[in-house]
Amino acid sequence: MTGKYKLHTIDLHFQGLAETIASYVVEGPDGLAMIETGPGSTLENALAGLAELGFKPADVQHILLTHIHFDHAGAAGWWAQQGAHIYVHHFGAPHLITPEKLIASASRIYGEQMGPLWGDILPAPAENVTALYDGDQIEVGGLTFIAHETPGHARHHHVYQLEDIAFTGDAAGILLPKFNLPDIPAPPPEFDLEVWLDTVDRIGALPVEAIYPTHYGRIPHKESHLATIKQLLRESALFVKERMDDGMNRETLIDEYTQWNRERAQQAGLSEEGILHYETVNPLYMSVDGIMRYWRKRKEWPGGNK
């Protein structure tokens, strides 16, 4: 089935690397919708990509964000200040309007790298932000998108279905085009194994013929991809849990997790360049921190998982 939309992929060239973060521009009968803005650090590239397609910034009146992590949404405030309307999960909306807390906690993680990595993070005017709930339909550009709540990577995550395709953000994992390596970003503080496994099933059940993760591009073979993602979620969580149970410290765990992931990448035929692409969009220490936090939290539950 051919839709009434035309899909363009803008390569944001994050950190100078091709095909790591996408911003999708959908041309409908009555205008554009943009899915993901990318970070502020790639704003120039987003604008150049738009110009190449023959569009002006003012043509972008509607932006759908899968979630508010900076690599997906860091530039959203800038766009909102230009007059674009932002659609985002209701848990994420307040942080776009008042980003101070988000910036403060990210600054603790990234330190001096904050600016070079993410650029400016500006507040979005409240009147330009629409908070979305599961199942909401967003009518923009003469098209209808459906928001599907898809937590696990982040609590505040939506996948957007458009006719026969779906924009999956990080909820279906990542797969960079030139490298055949499905991967999972499991950052703190909201990574949740069980919840994410359910989300993958939910995406699998969507009546779409292809999915588009933000990292990066079209995946037509969604069944096999999603099966691999589920396996990887389980294996990664188990890898970390076993070592935590043995009393391994964070630094050693990061070393071992990195080693394990590099071996997996090499087995998939990735060169050092390929590994650099993956580790740039998915820093491995972040996943170790995310998974460790998840297991620590669970242990606190009465009769918990330990």
Binding site for Zn ion (CB under 5 A): 69, 170
- Closer residue to Zn ion (CB): 19 or 170: 170
Residue 88 CB-half CA count within 13 A: 31
**Helix %, strand %, coil % of the chain (to 5):** 45, 20, 35
Q: How far is the CB of 100 from Zn ion (least distance, A)?
A: 20
Instruction: Report the C-alpha gap between 290 and 292 in whole angstroms.
Output: 6
- Which residue, judged by CB position, is nearest to Zn ion in the bound state? 69
- Closer residue to Zn ion (CB): 32 or 73: 73
Q: How far is the CB of 286 from Zn ion (least distance, A)?
A: 10
Q: How far is the CB of 221 from Zn ion (least distance, A)?
A: 23
- Closer residue to Zn ion (CB): 56 or 108: 108
Q: How far is the CB of 72 from Zn ion (least distance, A)?
A: 6
Angle at 71 between CA 69 and CA 77, to 5 degrees: 70
List residues bridging with 24 in a β-sheet.
9, 35
Question: Which residue stretches of 35-151 are H helix?
Answer: 43-52, 70-73, 76-81, 93-97, 100-110, 114-118
- Closer residue to Zn ion (CB): 27 or 170: 170
Q: What one-character DSSP code corresponds to residue 241?
A: H
List residues bridging with 212 in a β-sheet.
167
Instruction: Report the C-alpha gap between 90 and 73 in whole angstroms.
Output: 14
- Closer residue to Zn ion (CB): 69 or 156: 69
Token pair, residue 234, equals 């389980």
Q: How far is the CB of 212 from Zn ion (least distance, A)?
A: 15
